[in-house]
Amino acid sequence: MPYGAIRYETSDGVAVITLARGQVMNALNTSMRAEITDALHRAGADARVVVLTGEGRAFCAGQDLGDGTDLATLDLERVLREEYAPMLASMHNCPVPVIAAVNGVAAGAGANLALAADVVIAAESAGFIQAFTRIGLLPDAGGTWFLPRLVGQARAMGAALFAERISARQAADWGMIWEAVADVDFDHHWRARAAELAKGPTRAYLAVRRAMLAGAGNDLAAQLALEAQLQGALGIGRDFAEGIAAFHEKRPPRFEGR
């Protein structure tokens, strides 16, 4: 699929998807959703980590509200089921870890797209806005699933009802994201983080995601059984053997992601 609404680059095991509609703050339209979905599938084969970021001063302003579509007659249920859900699923099920490098404002579905990543790193000047109720909607793109898990019910409800801008620093303090980084260091920092994960034990990272997310729906016995099952599979993998060898040889491990 040729890309026009995003850019896709890979190097040294890192795939970078850049939302590239800077003139509208990288607002999401049908093409961009299809391209992100496609690129996430591709990245799973091309790289050992994928980074989602935005061009210009925004990460993503959510649904494109100004592309001429008559929003009053748009079938929102269809758009969410057929275009947003596959995009979120391709992120959530991506066979390599996903980093959202939030370079600027992330609003509406743009905020929740970021929160679907495994790790969110934001520039200090960035912010997150659950903008939906400002236009009479509820948080979609997974917002009602991710937000309460990340920050708890009280903060999720406040963020949705007041629809205020939550600064990157506050988001980090709340545990909504992994870290807020000074703007001058941001680019270098997320690239270093991505490079680190690209050299890591990919299968272990995916097992971490799976177990962490399953925990909310499991009782302790079921979760211990899942951990045992996943650890059993990792225990016969090459990366575990390499990790143990490196430990004994007092050297950094050379993981292959297998």
Do residues 100 and 119 make contact, with C-beta atoms less than 8 angstroms apart?
yes
Query: Helix 238-248 and helix 202-214: axis angle, to 10°?
Result: 110
Report how far residue 106's alpha carbon sits from residue 110's, in angstroms, rounded to the nearest whole number: 5
Exposed/middle/buried for residue 29 (C-beta within 10 Å: 0-12, 13-18, 19+): middle
Smallest distance from the beta carbon of 53 to ligand LHQ, in angstroms? 16
As given in the structure block, the two tokens for residue 193 are: 């983080």
Smallest distance from the beta carbon of 120 to ligand LHQ, in angstroms? 17
- Nearest CB to ligand LHQ, comparing residues 79 and 89: 79
Q: Tell whether residue 213 is a contact of ligand LHQ (CB under 6 A).
A: no
Strand partners, 14: 11, 49
Per-residue contact flags (x/-) with ligand LHQ for residues 21 to 60, judged by CB under 6 A: ---xx-x---------------------------------
Name the DSSP class of 246.
H
Smallest distance from the beta carbon of 43 to ligand LHQ, in angstroms? 23
- Nearest CB to ligand LHQ, comparing residues 76 and 241: 76
Q: Tell whether residue 20 is a contact of ligand LHQ (CB under 6 A).
A: no
- Nearest CB to ligand LHQ, comparing residues 80 and 85: 80
Q: Tell whether residue 171 is a contact of ligand LHQ (CB under 6 A).
A: no
Q: What share of the chain is helix, strand, coil (3-state, %, to 5)?
A: 50, 15, 30
Q: Tell whether residue 85 is a contact of ligand LHQ (CB under 6 A).
A: no
Among 9, 10, 135, 229, the residue binding ligand LHQ under the rule CB under 6 A is 135
Query: Of 16, 89, 4, 18, nearest to 47 (Cα)?
Result: 16
Note the residues at the interface with ligand LHQ (CB under 6 A). Answer: 24-25, 27, 61-66, 76, 79-80, 105, 107-109, 129, 131-132, 134-135, 137, 140
